[in-house]
Structure 1
């Protein structure tokens, strides 16, 4: 996979407490979304149970009307799927601060003479202000693979983009690869962390990020968090991450 964000995850001590990163005040939510709109950041909106997405920008955040207006997509079919979707997931990372929230069904409106989407302001917005775990990219020339043994129909191997104690970022073999929807879990996953041994555990999909590779091809990177990782597996990851960091520093010198 040619080169071109890992989300928050869990540690062996239990799930990441998102409460302290969650905005629930309408005023706070509107203020944060207005900042994203004013700075013109691109936002990815997943619809149709995560099977389709559009890249868009916020056009208007109206606290009084409790509505959010965002730009119309470039593909007519995807726009119609967005209008039919009852649950939509918004993801962006302005200035490295990951923002994610869910809204209900969108409706088509006219905004300044052109079509746009409008949804009700979300009740909650997750705003992760820092990475919970140190993560490191895996070697491109000698990639490691995540073996998903309980993928439907047949096991699937996915190239690992980066790794931390919280989880993994993985490349999908194609943007249209079925499964790997937000919240979906895979219980029988393994990664050979050479030369230290095999990492085994369960993963939950927390993030999907469409990217354009250097060769111009479209791809999707997914973020998955470890579920209930035992301390022995955490030690394995620490050894592997430490080795990669030592190698990276040696190359910089």
Structure 2
């Protein structure tokens, strides 16, 4: 299915959050009690967290136990040698995930090996700060990296930029790239007729506004993330988006 044409500015104040805007002071927690509460919630809800080391290695884990007195938490072991070694030698490890549909991001230092319930695990100190975004108006479905969903943007000078689609909601889309930077897509830019290719699920062509940019990682491993809001999608577009978000969420859970 292909949908076309949307125009006009976005009036959605939540678009920054919905489409994956950069962390903001409004959502930054620095008190250990607040950080501990969010970490315990992540543990109780058995949330899956993505961990990215400073050298660019990435794996999925979950928080097993939180100790608010010692200000430490235990998270699940990683069986892959390369990822485990990278994690245990990295002084910056970025965690990201969803807590009841709300993004949570934080960075911790170098973890140590420990034991939890008779199995191997990692233990690390609380992060100095944790970003817990407010609840969005619309649920955001993450995409599977292996699916290769892409966004093609044609700029006014006919330059074509290709980015990976990270997530989708009724209000916006999250994009990421190692080569496309904020110099190519400054915040505030409106882009006409961008093509979102979800392969077997369908394609969309619509206008986007860049509402946020942030960088994850360092040097050659850095990934640029862009939050983009849809510019006044019509009713037919919204119906298709709703079905598409539902399909993405089913695929992610499956």
TM norm structure 2: 0.59
Instruction: Answer yes or no: is 1:225 the counterpart of 2:227.
Output: yes
TM-superposed deviation, 1:131: 2.1
Tell me the matched-pair count: 199
Instruction: Answer yes or no: is 1:85 the counterpart of 2:87.
Output: no
TM-superposed deviation, 1:47: 0.9
Instruction: Answer yes or no: is 1:244 the counterpart of 2:237.
Output: yes
Q: Deviations over 1:98-154 (max 9, x none)?
A: 2111111222223344322121101221111322789899xxxxx8733498xxxx9
CA RMSD of aligned residues (A): 4.3
Give me the whole-angstrom Cα distance separating, in 1, the residues matched to 2:138 and 2:44. Answer: 30
> Does the 8 Å CA contact 2:74/2:124 hold for their aligned counterparts?
yes
- 1:27 matched residue in structure 2: 33
TM-superposed deviation, 1:9: 6.3
**Unpaired runs of at least 5, structure 2:** 1-13, 143-148, 186-190, 196-203, 218-222, 243-254
Instruction: Answer yes or no: is 1:104 the counterpart of 2:96.
Output: no
Give me the whole-angstrom Cα distance separating, in 2, the residues matched to 1:118 and 1:91. Answer: 17
Give me the whole-angstrom Cα distance separating, in 2, the residues matched to 1:136 and 1:72. Answer: 26
Aligned equivalent of 1:169, options 142, 165, 174: 174
Instruction: Answer yes or no: is 1:185 the counterpart of 2:181.
Output: yes
Change (3 A) 1:48 1:238: same
Change (3 A) 1:102 1:43: same
> Does the 8 Å CA contact 1:144/1:192 hold for their aligned counterparts?
no
> Does the 8 Å CA contact 1:187/1:202 hold for their aligned counterparts?
no
**Unpaired runs of at least 5, structure 1:** 1-7, 138-142, 173-178, 209-220, 227-233
- 1:48 matched residue in structure 2: 54
Give me the whole-angstrom Cα distance separating, in 2, the residues matched to 1:243 and 1:134. Answer: 19
Give me the whole-angstrom Cα distance separating, in 1, the residues matched to 2:86 and 2:160. Answer: 30
Aligned equivalent of 1:204, options 178, 192, 213: 213
Instruction: Using CA pairs under 8 Å that are at least 6 residues apart, name the structure with larger relative contact order, 1 or 2.
Output: 2
